[in-house]
Amino acid sequence: EPEVTQTPSHQVTQMGQEVILRCVPISNHLYFYWYRQILGQKVEFLVSFYNNEISEKSEIFDDQFSVERPDGSNFTLKIRSTKLEDSAMYFCASGGTEVAEAFFGQGTRLTVV
């Protein structure tokens, strides 16, 4: 069964460092998303991406964040200068049809120290 794949599963980084989280969406999907979940809190929407551009972003997705689809299969989230409060589980999701069902990856746990 097709699935969304995220790497790495866990990343530890020093405050101020740049990190890139990677995702391989389901191959025939067209819409891609990043969400995050701070420990003990709700899953929060960050950004959606369609047709090689950002469709929507939340107020969390500030200038420190960027997304890219560098080739036909990968979708990345970059955090330029990490802060302690960026520590969270980051989920990639993709969707393919007007039914708009979202399929999520297993997440990358980012720990900023």
Question: Please, which residue, 15 or 38, has the CB nearer to other proteins?
Answer: 38
CA distance 71 to 84: 30
Question: Please, which residue, 55 or 81, has the CB nearer to other proteins?
Answer: 55
Q: How far is the CB of 85 from other proteins (least distance, A)?
A: 19
CA distance 59 to 85: 15
| CA angle (2 as vertex; 71, 103 as ends), nearest 5 | 85
Positions that interact with other proteins (CB under 8 A): 4, 6, 30-33, 35, 41-48, 50, 55-56, 58, 89, 91, 93, 95, 98-107, 109
Question: Please, which residue, 84 or 99, has the CB nearer to other proteins?
Answer: 99
Ramachandran assignment for 100, one of left (phi > 0), alpha (psi -120 to 50 degrees), beta (any other): left
Cα dihedral across residues 39, 40, 42, 43: positive or negative: positive
Q: How far is the CB of 82 from other proteins (least distance, A)?
A: 21
Q: How far is the CB of 45 from other proteins (least distance, A)?
A: 3
Q: How far is the CB of 63 from other proteins (least distance, A)?
A: 19
